[in-house]
Amino acid sequence: MGYKRYIVKRLIYIIPLFLGISILNFSLMHSAGDPIRLMTLGNPSPNIGEVRENLRIYYGLDQPIYVQYGIWLWRFLQLDLGTSFYSGRTVNTIIGMYAWETIKLQMVALILALAIGIPIGIYSARKQYSKLDITITSSAIMGISIPIFYMGIIFILIFSFYLGWFPSFGAHSLQELRYPFGSYFLDELWHLVLPTVAIAWVSMALYIRLVRSSMLEILRQDYILAARASGLSERTIIFKHALRNATIPLITYIGISIGLLLSGAPMTETVFTWPGLGYLYVNSVTQLDFPVIMGINMIITLIILGVNLITDLLYGIIDPRIRYE
Amino acid sequence: MPRTILKIENLKTYFNTWAGVVQAVDGVSLEVKKGETLGLVGESGSGKTVTSLSVLRIVPRPGKIIDGRIMFKDEDLLRKTEKEMQKIRGAQIALIFQDPSTSLNPIFSIESQLIEVIQQHQKLNKEEAKEKAEILLDIVGIPDAKLRIKDFPHQFSGGMKQRVAIARALSCEPSLLFADEPTTNLDVTIQAQILDLMRDLKSKFDMSMVLITHNMGIVAEMADRVTVMYAGRVCETSSVNDIFLHATHPYTVALMRAIPQIGTEKQKLQVIPGNIPNLINPPSGCRFHPRCKYAKSICKMKVPELEKVEKGHLTACLRWDEIKKTLLKERERAA
């Protein structure tokens, strides 16, 4: 079949795409500012010019930009993302530390949003214009309209500041003493509640609307009426005939959002001081920590390209009309 | 005398929309006798399809059956529970849709769609159901049924898809088949093939059939009796011969005259002036009166009941007696 050839072809396409994106990122980053000046800001030393020159040579920033890019690319191909200007640790180590927290947070939130959003969307479509449907759709519009950073702050204010039920920042308690029942796992869950609910709240609203509208569209189709006319049960009709058709737009959207979510949703992580990629990203950008910025950029790029490929392959599994050439 | 298999009495199916209540089917009564083909004729929007969906009780929202009785084999379908109806749908009463390209689910194979219906109503395991599905495809004239059963709907032509849809409808050997304009979306040569097939299958499976159409040619060829509908009501019911030769309801007469005659001298196509009325706010009295050239003031006020013209011939016109005489005169003059 054309399946394997299609995958190989897509993987080859990734190479020029990746090069283009990395060149664009590299040059944009270099025009953002001078990290050496930022590092030595306010330094009263009389021979500051010389210090800066030495630092530039030390970090390799004295070379022309295309040479710097070449060196970066050569190392990247050897899976070496360089060393942070500030912490002195390798970028691989840093990203490894932060990425897990992002994956954990975003995946839990995604699963939560889907597990609640899909059934509600189906219900809403089946009972179109009922009182509950109108309540659901209007709250969903509110959910979409409220930006996550605002929602997050409100959550912290209510559940952390006033009620004191959940911690307001971080992924772990700082002291082991504060672990609920002394369990590390429960401590993780405890910290996960507020940020995941805030993220899920907003994305769930999108999934409800998406599922509702595609289900409405599908339930109007002749083949659903034909399935009813054949005496199939309501369950088979909804969950087999209708829902499987509705998964196609759903997968498209999940694919897009996974790419964005794994980049760490910088705003959410900043609001909750969540030690993930988004938080790291914001910090690295403000410090102009070039190797870390490039590292995160490239990880995000690869994830998005990979998820795109997987989504396209999933279409073919669900819809037999899609063929790969 | 043939027994009645389906008797609809005073069926009312309304749609509650934002704009108002659409009286799509408003007091329809008709009868299907065992073994016969009833042609259900009328313009688009006259309530033919809604009537058939009402019988299966699958009228899509916001439609609702308000009143009436639907006697199928002497049992009122409107009194059955949803579970009981599921056992009747597809097993005893089946439905073929107008557009075969939309009535099959695009993402499931023909095999799975047929097996699903077969297993829903018959205690067969997957292997047996598959065997039965292959036999069915063979019966409806799909070549290489054993190979093609694995295919998906988009791999079939329109006519072939309709054959598959027929196979699905017949999979549980129903005693009554509703065919809702089964050939409208097919080209003419395929139409004839499908109609032939349906006629064959009807006698093979010993079914009664309601053929919904607006093509009088198909009616003449396929039906034993005809029921003409207009704006959600029945105008006239009679044998095919009477409809073509002795129609008494002005709408039926106009419908007959609107059929283009091939072979006669060149003449303007006769049309019925006006449009089918808005069913949210239908005309008072006889719903056809605004377009009827025989209408008198009484037609605006009184709702006509179905009256017996002769045995097996009913008409819902207040003035059918006078009109019959007028028509006779017109015919004599023409001759």
pLDDT recorded at residue B41: 92
In three-state secondary structure terms, B7 is strand
Report yes or no: B13 at the A interface, CB cutoff 8 Å.
no
Across the interface, of B97, B120, B121, the residue whose CB is closest to A222 is B97
Judge: A225–B97 Cβ closer than 8 Å, yes or no: yes
pLDDT of B1 reads 44
Query: How far is the alpha carbon of A319 from chain B, nearest alpha carbon, in Å?
Result: 5
- pLDDT mean across residues, chain B: 89
Cβ atoms of residues B52 and B25 within 8 Å: no
What band does B38 get if pLDDT is binned at 50, 70 and 90?
A: very high
- What is the pLDDT, as a whole number, of residue B95? 93
What CATH number was assigned to the domain covering residues A92-318? 1.10.3720.10
Q: Tokens 């006519």 — which residue?
A: B159
Percent of chain A surpassing pLDDT 90:
22
In the predicted structure, residue B80 carries a pLDDT above the cut 80: yes
Under an 8 A CB cutoff, do B91 and A231 touch?
A: yes
A236 contacts B106? CB cut-off 8 A: no
Task: Using a pLDDT cut of 70, give the percent of chain B over it.
Answer: 98
Contact B176/B6 with Cβ under 8 angstroms?
yes
- The model's pLDDT over B184-221, given as tens digits with 9 standing for 90+, comes to 888 888 888 889 999 999 988 889 999 999 888 889 99
How far apart (Å, rounded) are the C-alpha atoms in residues A226 and B94?
A: 9
Locate B275 and state its tokens: 């449009």
pLDDT above 80: residue B239: yes
- Identify the pLDDT of residue B309: 87
Q: Give CA–CA dist A79/A265, Å, rounded.
A: 25
Domain ranges of chain B: 4-228, 231-334
List CB contacts of A84: < 8 A, sequence separation 6 or more.
A90, A91, A94, A284, A289, A291, A292
Average pLDDT over residues A35-40: 84
Answer whether the bond into residue B62 is a cis peptide, omega within 30°.
yes
The whole-number pLDDT of residue A52 equals 87
**A201 vs B29: which has the higher pLDDT:** B29
The pLDDT score that the predictor gives to residue B117 is 93
User: Does ipTM surpass 0.90 in this model?
Assistant: no
Distance (Å, whole) CA B194 – CA B188: 10
Encode pLDDT of A62-117 as tens digits. 888 899 999 999 999 988 888 888 888 888 999 888 888 888 888 899 999 999 99
Beta carbons of B102 and A223 less than 8 Å apart:
yes
- Type of residue numbered B187: D
Size of interface A-B (CB pairs under 8 A): 77
Fold classified for B4-228: Rossmann fold (3.40.50)
Report the C-alpha gap between B309 and B128 in whole angstroms. Answer: 52
Nearest CA distance, A219 vs chain B (angstrom): 9
Looking at CA atoms only, how far is residue B106 from chain A in angstroms? 8
Closest chain B residue to A230 measured between Cα atoms?
B90
CB contact under 8 A, B94 and A226: no
Quick check: helix, strand or coil at residue B38?
Answer: strand
Q: Say whether B89 and A241 touch across the interface (CB within 8 A).
A: no
- Please report which confidence band the pLDDT of residue B2 belongs to, taking 50, 70 and 90 as the band edges: low
pLDDT of A325: 61
Say whether pLDDT at B230 is over 80.
yes
**B interface test, pick of A218, A230, A238, A321 with most B CB neighbours within 10 Å:** A230
Which residues in chain A touch residue B94, judged by CB atoms under 8 angstroms apart? 229-230
Whether residue A187 is predicted with pLDDT greater than 90 in this model: the reply is no
Looking at the predicted structure, is the pLDDT value of residue A13 above 80? yes
Q: In chain A, what are the domain boundaries?
A: 3-77, 92-318
Q: Given pLDDT bands bounded at 50, 70 and 90, which one contains residue B332? A: confident
Interchain proximity A232–B99, CB inside 8 Å: no
Of residues B331 and B24, the one with the higher pLDDT is B24
d(CA A241, CA A234): 10
Cα distances (Å, whole numbers) of residue B309 to A85, B252, B284, B312, B316? 101, 14, 24, 8, 10
Contacts of B102 in chain A (CB under 8 A): 221-223
User: What are the tens digits of pLDDT across the range B132-187?
Assistant: 999 999 988 888 888 999 999 999 988 899 999 999 999 998 999 999 988 888 88
The average confidence (pLDDT) of chain A is 87
Find the residue in B nearest to A228 (Cα). Answer: B58
Mean pLDDT of B66-87: 92
Residue contact B58–A319, C-beta within 8 A: no
Beta strand residue intervals within B181-243, DSSP E:
208-213, 225-230, 233-239
User: DSSP per residue over A176-215, as a string?
Assistant: GGGSGGG-HHHHHHHHHHHHHHHHHHHHHHHHHHHHHHHH
pLDDT exceeds 70 at position B264: no
